[in-house]
Amino acid sequence: MSDMNPALPADVFAQLLSGSTTPVLLVDAADRRIVFANAAAARLLGYAQEPLAGRSISDFEAGLEDMFFWEEVAAGQVHDIDRVPGSYLHANGAMVHVEKQVRVLAHGGHTWIALTLTDVSAELARSDETAEIASLLAATLESIADGVLVTDLSGGLRNFNRRFARMFGVADVDVDGDAVMSAVSGLLIDPGPWQALLALVASDPQTDQLITLALRDARFIECSARPQTLRKRPVGRLYTFSDVTDSKRYEAALVAAREAADRANQAKSAFIASMNHELKTPLNAILGFADLLREDLPPAEADFAEHIYVAGQHLLALIGDVLDLAQVEAGRVDLHAELIPLATLIQECCAMTAPVAARYGVQVISEVPSDVTICADRRRARQIVLNLISNGCKYNRSDGTLTISAAPGGDGHTVARFTDTGIGIDAGDLARIFEPFTRVGSRRGEVEGTGLGLAHSRKLANLMGGDITVSSVPGEGSTFSLTLPAVAPAEVLP
C-alpha cells in the first residue's frame, strides 16, 4: 500500500492514465464505486467513458473470485496483487475474462483500489478449444475398433486406447512404458518380431511395417506400424492392432481343404491311370476273341459271339466316356487349337453319323456358310459336334429334321446351332441337362446312352473358351448352341 500526494486520486489518474491503451479502473474501497475509468477500460466493457464513473464495480464483475476479492477488501485484508483472474460483463451481455493487477492506494485516510485489466478472453477461448479438440481426439481413439498404441521417437509410451489394454491385459491407467511393452512381449510365442518392430523407431522411423503376432493363448494379432509426423518431421510411431484369429483359422482351414483336395485329385489321377489299364486291357482281349469267334463258329454260336462283341464295344465306350470326363474335370487334357472351317467339320461329322440318322429316320441339314471358322482342338471339336448330331437324331421324331446353322456371335466367337424337331425338353429339366449321368425326356429309356455326353461336351467347350447352351419348346423341338472362338486369341480386336 502506498500513500498518495494531496491531489485527488481521480484527478491524478486522469492526468496520468487517460491516454493509456491499457484498461485501468480506480475504485473507492469504501463503497466499491468507480471514481475513474480510462477510455481503454470503457472500450473493453463496451461503454462510454463517463457512464462508468460513479457506478458500482459490482455492476460489472461477474466471477466468484471477484466477489471474494471485495470481501477481503472490506475486511481490510487486501494487498497488492500482480495477477488475479476476473470476469466482467460486457454491455452486450458477453463475458469478458481478464487478468487483474491490483494496487492498493491510500490518501488522506482513504483507500482506493487501482485495477489494471488485461483481456484474456481469446486465450481462454483457444484453451477451451484446445481442450475440446483433445477430448474429441481421446473419444476418437477410444471409438476405434482396433487397439492403438502411440510412442515417441525414443520408444517412450505416449498413449494407448482401452481396446489395446483389453487385447494385451494392460491396465487402462498404466503409464509405465516399459511395463506395457513387456506385457505385450510376455504374451507372444516369439517376441522377437515385436521387439524388432519397436527398434525401428530409432533406426528407421519413416518405414511402414506390418507383422502378425502369434499369442500363447492361440490368438493372432496383426500389428501395423506407421510413422507419426508433425510439419513433415517424424515425431513418433503409431501402432494399430487387429485381432485376425478368425481369419487365420479360416485360412488354415482353406489350406487344409486345398491340400486334401490335392491329395484326392492325385488319388483320382492314379485311379484313372489304373482303371485305364486294368479295365481296358482285359476288355480289349475279350473283344478280340469275340471278333475271331464270329468268323469261325456256326451261325448260332456266331450270333452269341456277336452279342458279346457288341456289348463289349458298348462297355468299352462307356469306360472311355467315364475316364475321359474324369480327365477333363481334373484338367488333364492337352488341347492344340487350330483354325478350322466349320462347314468342313460339320460335313465330316454328318458322314460319320449317317448310320445313326438313317436308323432314327432323321434328315440332317447343314446350312453352315463355307467362310465360318472356329479356333479349337480339332479332335475335341469333332467329339462335341458328333455328340450334338447324335443326340439330335436319337431324340428326334421319325421323319424329323436336324438343321445345323452358324453365324458370328460377337466378341470374336462363332455360334453353331443344332435345331431338331423332336419332342422338346421340359423347363424343369433344362437346368440339369448338363449334369453328368443325367438323362431327361420320355424317350430316355428307349435310347442308348450314359448321360455323360452333354456334360463332357460342355466341359470341353469351356476348356476351349466356349460354351454350350440349350433352349427348347416342349412338343416342337430343341436348339443346342455351341459357342467357340472364331479366331486365335491374338487375332481378336480390342
- From first to last of the 494 residues of the chain, give the pLDDT tens digit: 444 444 456 666 666 666 688 899 899 988 989 988 888 889 899 887 668 888 899 888 877 777 888 888 888 877 888 788 888 888 888 888 899 898 888 877 888 888 999 988 888 777 767 667 766 776 767 777 788 888 888 888 888 888 888 888 887 655 677 788 888 888 999 999 888 888 887 677 777 889 899 999 999 999 988 888 887 888 888 899 999 999 888 888 889 988 887 787 677 667 766 766 677 777 777 877 777 777 777 877 777 777 787 777 767 766 776 776 666 666 667 788 999 999 999 999 999 899 999 999 999 999 999 999 999 999 889 989 999 999 999 889 999 999 999 999 878 899 999 999 998 888 888 888 888 777 665 454 455 656 778 888 999 999 999 999 999 999 899 999 999 999 876 544 44
Q: What is the pLDDT of residue 75?
A: 81
DSSP string for 22-82: S-EEEEETTT-BEEEE-HHHHHHHTS-HHHHTTSBGGGTB-SHHHHHHHHHHHTT----EE
> Which residues, 6 or more positions from 300, have their beta carbon under 8 angstroms from its beta carbon?
none
Q: What is the pLDDT of residue 2?
A: 46
The set of cell numbers assigned to 335 is 488341347
Asked if residue 435 lies in contact with residue 454, where contact means CB atoms within 8 angstroms, the answer is no
Reduce the DSSP state of residue 280 to 3 states and report it.
helix
Q: What is the pLDDT of residue 143?
A: 74
Q: What is the pLDDT of residue 401?
A: 96
The CA-atom distances, in angstroms, between 329 and each of 272, 322, 323 are 12, 11, 10
Q: What is the pLDDT of residue 325?
A: 67
CA 211 to chain centroid, in Å, comes to 19
Q: What is the pLDDT of residue 4?
A: 45
**DSSP state, residue 443:** T
The radius of gyration of the chain from alpha carbons, rounded to an integer in Å, stands at 49
Round to whole Å and give the CA distance between 406 and 404: 7
Domains (ranges, CATH) in the chain? 12-124 (3.30.450.20), 141-247 (3.30.450.20), 257-330 (1.10.287), 337-485 (3.30.565.10)
